[in-house]
Structure 1
Amino acid sequence: MLRRKIAVSQSSKAGLPPGTLQYVGERDPEPTSVRVFVYGPDFAEEKNPECLEELLRAGENNIWINVSGLFNLDIINRIGKLLKLHPLTLEDLLNTEQRPKYEDFDDYIFLVLKIIRNDRMPGNFTESVIDKNTAATNYFSRELFQQDSRISSRQISIILSDGVVCSFEESGSDLLDSIIKRLFDRKSRIRKYGSDYLMYALTDCVVDRYFAVFESLGEYIEDLEGRIIEGSDDVEIEEIYTLKRNLLYIRKQIWPIREMLSGLVRNQPELVSEQTVVYLSDVSDHLHQLNDILESYREMSTGFYEIYLSTLSNRMNEVMKVLTIIATIFIPLTFIAGIYGMNFVYMPELVWEFGYPSAVILMLAIALVMLVYFRKKKWI
């Protein structure tokens, strides 16, 4: 059963003072859920969110707070007060139309990330169809960029403070399940390193999803290119425009994240260790690689339009050539038939016994000679 979402536009905040908590975006009717994880080098366990105040006061271990769904503003405000977040930070994480960015405050770092989703996909998100170890990617690659498909994004905000990481997901999904699984692995680096490494792991998880999308996108572009060159009837100009529009949308999501990570690596805040900066540099390199791939895809999509028009023109020329050949063959035949259709009394062939078969044979001979001539000229 499909859940109906309520759209809240940016214009609804007009006239409100800065820092006013108001959700902006498509509101999911699912309730807001909070999961709290406490971990250290030798342990990891999930705690009751009601004990969050006590855990923050203790401050002995690393804490990860994962908020799924931004529907409940009271919960968001409560966590913001516990972490001493700036009102503008809370305002930005509730605005799902916020541009990806990085902000360095005195006590914490604020990151806004975007990850691609396809509104035609079943379920909450695309994790179920972009698993590299399953065959579901084939479905994703064909359905992702259809004419009635709309690519959108889902926002993930990350707060990093001393020993605490808080992630805010726009809606519920299994996006971070792999991180939770690694957290409970005794050999995981997430346990051994500080909370800044967990921030890196969350960022890397988001970027890895782009690679899965790009793999499917590459397969789709190859398939589309083949269909265009072959002149397949199922290719329409709207499909190419949809591809170009979606590629532009993806670029708008990747470009700010690349700038954001580059700034984070370049500034190297106090909350991020040198060891974690090395890992973040690797994620930044991945985004540069994705951007290069995306630019090549955009150039190919531009070429698809020209190839499509050229293929259409060639098909039209083939049709016109066939019609021209047929008309050319029938011109002399029509001329002969017109002469003997004048019905003059003193036409000698009218009373000749072999007049009719001779005229037919003459017309067939002319048609055959013209076909042989056209064939010799390679017009047919």
Structure 2
Amino acid sequence: MRFFFSGKKKEFRGHLLYSGDDFNKAQITFLKKEQDSYELKNIEQYSDEDIGIFFFKSLSDTESIMRYGKENNISSFLLDDIVNINQRPKAQFGEGHLFLSLRRLIVSNDSVTFSPISIYYDTKRITFFVNNENDDLITNFINRINNNRSPFRTSDIIYSIPLILDIITSEYLNALDVISIESQDAEIKVLDQEDDVDPKDIFFLKKKIYDMRKIIRPSKEALYSIIRSDEKMIGKSEKNYFYEIYENITQTLEHLEVYADNIRSIYELQLTINGNRLNEIMKTISVIGTIFIPLTFIAGIYGMNFEFMPELGFKYGYPVAVVVMIVIALFLLAWFKKRKWI
């Protein structure tokens, strides 16, 4: 919670600061836990006795988030983490609750964007705070949890957390596929020495991988802290699902490390190729300059305006000088070629 001083009443008032630029009115979706399914209900139909899942869409509506947090006894410090779109992924246990903050990787038109998601669990309800209203996260979640073959359909609501984490992990894999395609395209272009290869593109791809690692690695650490915790609100059977997600994220991170090394090698290779091209250009210029040095020397000597120069009166002086220059140039070209300099 960040505080600002109010000059009129001379008191401190707590306000949440949303770190993004956009603003969208909050929308709350409620899934009520029935005996063998989750039913989508209107928020006005919710009562304190109901057990279910809330989707709180839009982090920019801080007033609604503060009101929701007050009604559900969510700490102001956690609310501050929720509205911070740059919050580092973490897991935190409190008195009767679990707070988990993660970052999603959303693939759209072959581009990867980051979006925060926070999870608050207090045994009776789970709240997912998401910032992107237009993606299909909620639809995928409802379809998967109500699938007849889903073991989560009749399980405790705690199992919905591994389910949403599995969807997030799938988004990581989709982003990894984009990185794989871009990495392969860059590698092919560099190896084929195409002229349209821009080192900036490779650098930005390298930066994208770095940003993804910066998100996925702390997510792995957050899940590990849940698995290793002694909190009784998450039992051994639930931890098995968390461990599967942990393994998937570990494999994703390992693949990302491989792509990072590959992009680093491609970037260095591109710099080497550009350096070799520059060396070839400089070598060509040097060869041309070396050939013209003796020719310029001869032309310079006979271009001097001295009155007494024996060769100036020679009848065949001009053609002889030209022939000598041609012979010298051909000799130098043959010598350079023999030394494999050209």
**2:169 equivalent to 1:180:** no
Match of 2:165 among 176, 180, 203: 203
Residue type matched to 1:24 in 2? Y
Unaligned runs of 5+ in 1: 1-9, 117-125, 130-135, 145-150
Match of 1:359 among 315, 321, 326: 321
- 1:155 maps to 116
Displacement of 1:285 after TM fit?
A: 1.2
- 2:255 maps to 293
**2:96 equivalent to 1:111:** no
Higher mean C-alpha deviation, range 321-330 or range 181-190: 181-190
Describe the shift of the 1:94–1:335 C-alpha distance in structure 2 as closer, same or farther (beyond 3 A). Answer: closer
For residues 328 and 173 of structure 1, the distance between their equivalents in structure 2, rounded to whole angstroms, comes to: 67
Normalised TM-score (structure 1) = 0.77
For residues 50 and 366 of structure 1, the distance between their equivalents in structure 2, rounded to whole angstroms, comes to: 97
- Conserved in 1, the CA contact under 8 Å of 2:16 and 2:79? no
Higher mean C-alpha deviation, range 164-173 or range 357-366: 357-366
Task: After TM superposition, list the pairs within 5 Å mapping 1:119-138 onto structure 2.
Answer: 126-127=106-107, 129=108, 136=109
Describe the shift of the 1:69–1:223 C-alpha distance in structure 2 as closer, same or farther (beyond 3 A). Answer: same
Aligned residues: 336
Describe the shift of the 1:91–1:320 C-alpha distance in structure 2 as closer, same or farther (beyond 3 A). Answer: closer
Residue type matched to 1:71 in 2? S
Displacement of 1:155 after TM fit?
A: 1.3
**2:293 equivalent to 1:331:** yes
Task: After TM superposition, list the pairs within 5 Å mapping 1:1-380 onto structure 2.
Answer: 13=3, 20-40=14-34, 42-52=36-46, 54=47, 56-57=48-49, 59=50, 62-116=51-105, 126-127=106-107, 129=108, 136=109, 139-140=110-111, 153-174=114-135, 175-228=137-190, 232-236=194-198, 238-267=200-229, 269-304=231-266, 306-342=268-304, 347-348=310-311, 350-352=313-315, 354-380=316-342
Describe the shift of the 1:309–1:18 C-alpha distance in structure 2 as closer, same or farther (beyond 3 A). Answer: farther
- Conserved in 2, the CA contact under 8 Å of 1:196 and 1:271? no
Displacement of 1:305 after TM fit?
A: 5.1
- Conserved in 2, the CA contact under 8 Å of 1:36 and 1:64? yes
- Conserved in 1, the CA contact under 8 Å of 2:24 and 2:61? no
- 1:119 maps to none
Describe the shift of the 1:18–1:262 C-alpha distance in structure 2 as closer, same or farther (beyond 3 A). Answer: farther
Displacement of 1:345 after TM fit?
A: 5.4
Displacement of 1:329 after TM fit?
A: 1.2
- Conserved in 2, the CA contact under 8 Å of 1:32 and 1:69? yes
Unaligned runs of 5+ in 2: none
Describe the shift of the 1:259–1:19 C-alpha distance in structure 2 as closer, same or farther (beyond 3 A). Answer: farther
> Identity percentage over the alignment?
28
- Conserved in 1, the CA contact under 8 Å of 2:3 and 2:12? no
For residues 324 and 360 of structure 1, the distance between their equivalents in structure 2, rounded to whole angstroms, comes to: 22
Structure 1, residues 335-374: CA drift from partner, whole Å, max 9, x if none?
Answer: 333344346556357442x443343333223222221221
- Conserved in 2, the CA contact under 8 Å of 1:158 and 1:165? yes
Displacement of 1:18 after TM fit?
A: 11
Normalised TM-score (structure 2) = 0.84
For residues 27 and 345 of structure 1, the distance between their equivalents in structure 2, rounded to whole angstroms, comes to: 86
Describe the shift of the 1:334–1:242 C-alpha distance in structure 2 as closer, same or farther (beyond 3 A). Answer: same
For residues 4 and 262 of structure 2, the distance between their equivalents in structure 1, rounded to whole angstroms, comes to: 41
Residue type matched to 1:267 in 2? S
Structure 1, residues 92-146: CA drift from partner, whole Å, max 9, x if none?
Answer: 3233332211122232211111123xxxxxxxxx34x3xxxxxx5xx33xxx6xx
- Please tell me the root mean square deviation across aligned C-alpha atoms, in Å: 3.1
Describe the shift of the 1:335–1:96 C-alpha distance in structure 2 as closer, same or farther (beyond 3 A). Answer: closer
Residue type matched to 2:75 in 1? H
- Aligned partner of residue 267 in structure 1, secondary structure: coil
